[in-house]
C-alpha cells in the first residue's frame, strides 16, 4: 500500500492491491472474552456515574501503520509516501447491542473523553499532521464491525475536505479577523430555520448548503478551535455535549439506516507545520464540529450524478423534520 498525491487536486489517495479484509465470522473479538482479543492501547472507566469502560485498540487490519517514516518522495512529477500513520478502533462499550445513541450521558462522556485523549496523544507524534475520529454506521456506510465502535486515524497529511475548510477559514480570517464558523452560527441563530437543537454551549443545525438531505452539524456555540483541548478541559462536565450527540444521532437514525459521522478539528500544531507557520491563526480561525451525513438508501446515487451535490430536501425542511422528532 502507498499514498499517492493527485498532482491536480493535490489530494492524497491510498492505493494498493492488498486483498480486501473481511471481519472474521463467529464470536465478536471486541466483546469481553472474545476470540483474538485486540491489542489494547488505552482504557477508560468504568467511572462512578456508570460510564465506560471504553477502550481504544489497534485496528485489526489497519490502513496506516505506526512503524517507520513516511519517506515522502517523488516519482517523476508525482508525489508518493508510505502509509505511515495510526489506525485505532474505539470500542464504545462492552455491550455488543448498545449503540452510542442508546447510551447514557455518562457513557457518551467517557467515549468523548477517550477520543480526546487519543487525539491529543497521537498529536505528540510529530510525524502526524492530522488526527480524526469517525464512525461509519450501517452497511451502505461501509460499517466494518458488528460491535459498536468508532475509529481514529492519524495521518501524515491533512485530508482533503478538512484542508479545504482550514484554508477557507484562514483566508476568511485574514480578510475579516473573524471566525467564519462563528459568523455563520450568529446568522443562523438570528433566523433559526436551520437550527435543530440549541443548548447553553452547543448547537446542531442543517448547514445552509447541505450536500445531502438531512446533513447535520454539531458544534460549540462559543469559539473553540480544538475538540480535544475543549473536551479535556471540561472533562468533568461533558453532559450537554453528550446529550446533544445522543439526540443528534437519534434524529439521524430515525430517518436513515446508515450514516457517516466525522469530527473536524485543528491539525497537529506540534508538527513542524507550526515552525513553517502553515496554520498561524488556526486557533482563531477554525472551529471544531461534527459532520453527520445520513445515507438514505435508495436515493443515494443521484446525489453525485452531475459531479455536483444536489439535495431534493432543503436544509430548512430537513431541520424542521429533524427538530420535531422525539429524542431522549
Ligand atoms: Zn461485540
Ligand atoms: Zn468560531
Ligand atoms: Zn467540517
Ligand having the closest approach to the CA of 266: 3
CATH number of 2-17+26-155: 3.30.428.10
Q: What is the mean pLDDT of each run of 10 residues along the chain (328 residues)?
A: 92 86 77 90 85 90 91 94 96 93 94 97 94 96 94 95 94 97 98 97 97 96 97 93 98 96 93 67 96 81 66 94 96
- Which pairs from 199-203 meet CB under 8 Å and 24+ separation? 199/240, 199/243, 199/244, 200/240, 201/240, 201/241, 202/240, 202/241, 202/244
Q: What is the value of pTM for the model shown?
A: 0.94
- Name residues with Cβ closer than 5 Å to ligand 1, which is an ion: 28, 30-31, 96, 147
Q: Where are the domains of the chain?
A: 2-17+26-155, 160-324
Ligand 2 mean position, distance from CA 175 (Å): 15
- Which pairs from 101-105 meet CB under 8 Å and 24+ separation? 101/245, 101/246, 101/249, 101/250, 101/253, 103/246, 104/49, 104/50, 104/51, 105/238, 105/239, 105/242, 105/243, 105/246
Which CATH code of 3.40.430.10, 3.40.190.10, 3.40.50.2300, 3.30.428.10 fits the domain covering 160-324? 3.30.428.10
Ligand 3 mean position, distance from CA 16 (Å): 28
Instruction: Quote the pLDDT of residue 23.
Output: 61
Answer yes or no: same fold for 2-17+26-155 and 160-324.
yes
Ligand 1 mean position, distance from CA 25 (Å): 12
252 vs 292: CA distance, rounded Å: 8
Instruction: Quote the pLDDT of residue 231.
Output: 97
pLDDT tens digits, residue range 102-121? 999 999 999 999 999 999 99
- Name residues with Cβ closer than 5 Å to ligand 2, which is an ion: 179, 181-182, 223, 287
Beta carbons of 195 and 203 less than 8 angstroms apart: yes
Q: Which three cell numbers stand for residue 29?
A: 473479538
Ligand 1 mean position, distance from CA 27 (Å): 8
pLDDT tens digits, residue range 51-107? 778 999 999 999 999 988 999 999 999 999 999 999 999 999 989 999 999 999 999
Instruction: Quote the pLDDT of residue 303.
Output: 56
Amino acid at each position: 500500500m502507498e499514498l499517492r498525491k493527485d498532482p491536480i487536486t493535490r489530494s492524497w489517495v491510498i492505493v494498493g492491491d492488498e486483498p480486501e479484509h473481511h471481519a472474521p465470522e463467529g464470536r465478536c473479538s471486541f466483546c469481553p472474552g472474545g476470540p483474538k482479543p485486540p491489542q489494547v492501547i488505552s482504557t477508560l472507566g468504568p467511572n462512578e456515574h456508570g460510564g465506560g469502560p471504553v477502550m481504544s485498540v489497534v485496528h485489526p487490519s489497519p490502513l496506516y501503520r505506526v512503524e517507520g517514516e513516511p519517506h515522502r518522495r517523488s516519482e517523476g512529477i508525482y508525489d508518493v509516501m508510505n502509509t505511515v500513520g495510526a489506525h485505532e478502533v474505539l470500542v464504545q462499550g462492552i455491550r455488543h447491542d448498545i449503540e452510542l445513541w442508546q447510551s447514557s450521558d455518562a457513557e457518551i462522556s467517557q467515549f468523548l473523553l477517550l477520543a480526546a485523549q487519543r487525539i491529543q496523544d497521537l498529536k505528540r507524534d510529530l510525524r502526524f499532521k492530522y488526527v480524526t475520529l469517525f464512525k461509519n454506521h450501517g452497511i451502505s456506510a461501509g460499517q466494518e464491525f458488528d460491535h459498536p465502535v468508532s475509529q481514529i486515524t492519524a495521518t501524515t497529511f491533512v485530508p482533503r475536505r478538512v484542508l479545504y475548510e482550514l484554508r477557507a477559514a484562514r483566508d476568511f480570517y485574514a480578510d475579516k479577523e473573524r471566525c467564519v464558523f462563528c459568523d455563520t452560527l450568529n446568522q443562523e441563530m438570528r433566523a433559526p430555520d436551520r437550527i435543530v437543537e440549541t443548548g447553553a454551549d452547543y448547537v446542531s443545525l442543517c448547514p445552509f448548503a447541505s450536500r445531502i438531505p438531512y446533513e447535520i452539524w454539531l458544534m460549540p456555540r462559543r469559539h473553540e478551535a480544538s475538540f480535544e483541548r475543549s473536551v479535556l478541559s471540561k472533562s468533568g462536565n461533558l453532559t450537554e455535549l453528550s446529550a446533544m450527540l445522543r439526540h443528534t444521532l437519534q434524529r439521524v437514525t430515525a430517518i436513515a439506516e446508515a450514516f457517516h459521522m466525522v469530527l473536524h478539528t485543528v491539525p497537529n500544531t506540534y508538527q513542524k507545520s507550526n515552525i513553517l507557520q502553515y496554520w498561524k491563526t488556526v486557533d482563531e480561525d477554525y472551529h471544531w464540529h461534527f459532520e453527520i451525513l445520513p445515507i438514505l438508501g435508495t436515493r443515494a446515487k443521484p446525489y453525485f450524478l452531475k459531479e455536483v451535490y444536489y439535495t431534493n430536501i432543503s436544509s430548512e425542511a430537513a431541520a424542521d423534520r429533524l427538530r420535531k422528532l422525539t429524542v431522549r
